[in-house]
Chain A
Amino acid sequence: MSRRVVITGLGVCAPNGVGLSDFTQALLNGKSGIRHQPNLEKLGFGCQVAGEPLVKDKLIDSYFTPLERRGLNATGVVYGVIAGVDAWKDAGLDKNLSNEPSWDRGVIFGTGILGVDKFREAIHLIDDGNVRRLGSTSVIQTMASGISAYLGGMLGCGNQVTTNSAACTTGTEGIIMAYDRISQGKAEIMLTGSCSDSGPYVWGGFDAMRILPRGYNNDPTKASRPMSATASGFIPGSGAGALVLESLESAQKRGAHIYAEVLGGEINSGGQIDEGSMTAPNSMAVQRCISNAISNSGIKASEVDVINGHMTATAKDGLEIANWSKALNRKGKDFPFINSFKGVIGHCLAAAGSIESVAAILQFKEKVVFKNINCEDIHPEITDVIAASSIPRETALYEPRVIAKASFGFGDVNACVIFKAFSM
C-alpha cells in the first residue's frame, strides 16, 4: 500500500520569528534572529551569540494551563508545543474533546535533549540530599519523549506518539517517518516536527569543541555565514518547527488547504567509515542518501529546482555542494537554486530540520526562493562547482516545483526529503 501524502499544516517557533507570518516576513527580508547572549558572555563562552526564539510569557499562557505552567522549565517543551499546536490549528484540526482517542492521528516529534534547565534544577536538589523536593514535573520535562507526550495529550491523539532523535537530522528524519506511516496506511494524520532547548548547557559542548565562531561577539547578525569564504563555524540556535502530514484522501475529505506534497525521502548513515566519523560526513553516504531520496520519490534529478541544504557555515559547506552536484549530476548554471536558512536562524540542532523544512515549504506558498545572507563572498570551492547565480543573495520571485531538503548529523547520519508543489 502506498498512498499520497500532503502537508496541510505548519507551525514554527524560530529565532527570527514566532508564528508563520512573522517567520515568513523574516525570511523574505533576510532578517536575522541571531543575537548577543549576555549569559554566554558571563559564563566565558568563546562564542557569545546564538539564535533563540523570543517567546513572551503572555504567549506561553495561551498554550499552557496555569497548572502546566507550574514548574515549567524546559524551553524545548515550550517551543515544541507552540509550533505543534499552531501547525495543528493551521491544518484546520481541533483538539480532541471526545471521550475516545483519535486512533488515526499520531505524533512523531523529535528532540536531541529535552528540559536541560529542568534537569539542572533536579541535579542541584538531588546533590543537596533533597530528592523529595523534585515534585512531579521533573520526569515529564526531561524524558526525551516529553515533547511528543505533551502534544499527544493536548491533541488527544491515539495513533503512534513518539520522539525520534538523530542529532541534527532529527527534524527531517521525522518528516520521512511520518510520511512512511501515512503512506503505508497506518495513520491518516501525523503531527511531526522537532525542538531544541536554548541555553549554555545545550550549546556549551559545541563551544568546547572549538567549532563555533569567536570573532562575531559584537556583530551577531554577521556571525552565521553559510557558503561564505569567511565562514568560521556554526552559530548555535534553538526553537521548533512542526508540520501536519496527512493522507491526500483525508485532506480532500476535510477540504484542507494543501501546502505541498511529500513525494518521499531517504534516511541512511555513513557508518563512520572512510572519511565519515562521529562528527564528519561520509560523502559516499550523503550522495547515496540524496540520489535514493530522488529515486524513492519517482522523479528525476533534473526536476529538482530548489535545494535547501544543511549548510552549517563550516569548512564543510563546499563538500556538501560537491556532494549535491555529484548526486544530482548537475553543476555550473545547471545546478538548482540553493539556500541555507542557517544564516538567519543559526544551527538549531535537533530543531534545524523541521524549522528549515517549514521555511522551505513556505517558498511554494510565497512563490519565492528565500535569500541567503552573509555570503557576499561565496567560497571559491563552491563557485568551482556551481554558478554563483544558483545562490540567491536576494529573495527571488520563482515558483518552485520540486524542493529537496537535506539534513546531516553527528553519528554520520543523513536524511533527505523531497517536497513537490501540489497538483492533482
Chain B
Amino acid sequence: MLKEEKYQKLKDIIQVYLPEDVAVTDISKDSHLMNNLNINSANLVDIVLDVEDAFEIRLENEDMENMQTVGDAMAIIDAKLSAK
C-alpha cells in the first residue's frame, strides 16, 4: 500500500469523529487528535477499532496510548504492517 493511500485511509477514518467545528482540511500529520482536532476521548477507542479493521492489524493498549497525533498513528500502522 502506498504511503499516500494509507494516509488517505486514515484520514477517512478520523473524519467521521470530527466535531462540527473542525473541517477535514484541518487534518495534518502534526494534528493532535484530542487537542487540535477536538476528538472526544471516548471516540479514540473507536478510531483504534476502525484502524484495526481497515488495515487488518491489531493494536495493543500501549499503541493506543502512543497514538497522540495523526503522525503517531501513521507510524504505528506502518510498524504493524511491516511486522505482519
Contact = CB atoms under 8 A, between A and B. Distances in A.
B7 interface: no
Interface stretch (B27-35, B38-46, B76-84): B38-46
A136 interface: yes
A135 interface: yes
Contacts of A71: 46
A151 to B, nearest CB: 18
A66 B49 contact: no
A133 B46 CA distance: 9
- In the A-B complex, the 9 residue pairs with the closest CB atoms: A136-B42, A135-B46, A136-B46, A136-B45, A135-B49, A136-B43, A67-B16, A135-B45, A67-B17
Given A67-B17, A67-B43, A135-B46, 10 more contacts: A65-B20, A67-B16, A70-B16, A70-B46, A71-B46, A133-B49, A135-B45, A135-B49, A136-B43, A136-B46
Interface of A: 65-67, 70-71, 133, 135-137
Contacts of B49: 133, 135
A137 B16 CA distance: 14
A282 to B, nearest CB: 45
A333 to B, nearest CB: 60
Nearest to A65: B20
Interface string B1-43: 0000000000000001100100000000000000000000011
B43 to A, nearest CB: 6
A70 B17 CA distance: 10
Interface of B: 16-17, 20, 42-43, 45-46, 49
Nearest to B17: A67
B10 to A, nearest CB: 17
A71 B43 CA distance: 12
Contacts of A136: 42-43, 45-46
Contacts of A65: 20
Contacts, number: 17
Nearest to B19: A67
B2 to A, nearest CB: 27
Contacts of B42: 136
17 contacts: A65-B20, A66-B16, A67-B16, A67-B17, A67-B43, A70-B16, A70-B46, A71-B46, A133-B49, A135-B45, A135-B46, A135-B49, A136-B42, A136-B43, A136-B45, A136-B46, A137-B46
Interface centre among A70, A133, A135, A137 (most CB of B within 10 A): A135
A270 B17 CA distance: 49
A131 to B, nearest CB: 11
Nearest to B45: A136
A71 B45 CA distance: 13
A66 B19 CA distance: 11
B3 to A, nearest CB: 27
Contacts of B20: 65
Contacts of A135: 45-46, 49
Nearest to B43: A136
Nearest to A69: B16
A65 B46 CA distance: 16
B47 to A, nearest CB: 10
A56 B20 CA distance: 24
A70 B40 CA distance: 14
Contacts of B16: 66-67, 70
A67 B38 CA distance: 14
A155 to B, nearest CB: 16
B59 to A, nearest CB: 9
A70 B49 CA distance: 13
A138 to B, nearest CB: 10
A65 B16 CA distance: 10
Which among A67, A70, A137 has the highest number of chain B CB atoms within 10 Å? A67
A252 B30 CA distance: 53
A67 B49 CA distance: 15
Contacts of A67: 16-17, 43
B17 to A, nearest CB: 6
A71 B46 CA distance: 10
B39 to A, nearest CB: 10
A66 B20 CA distance: 11
Contacts of B46: 70-71, 135-137
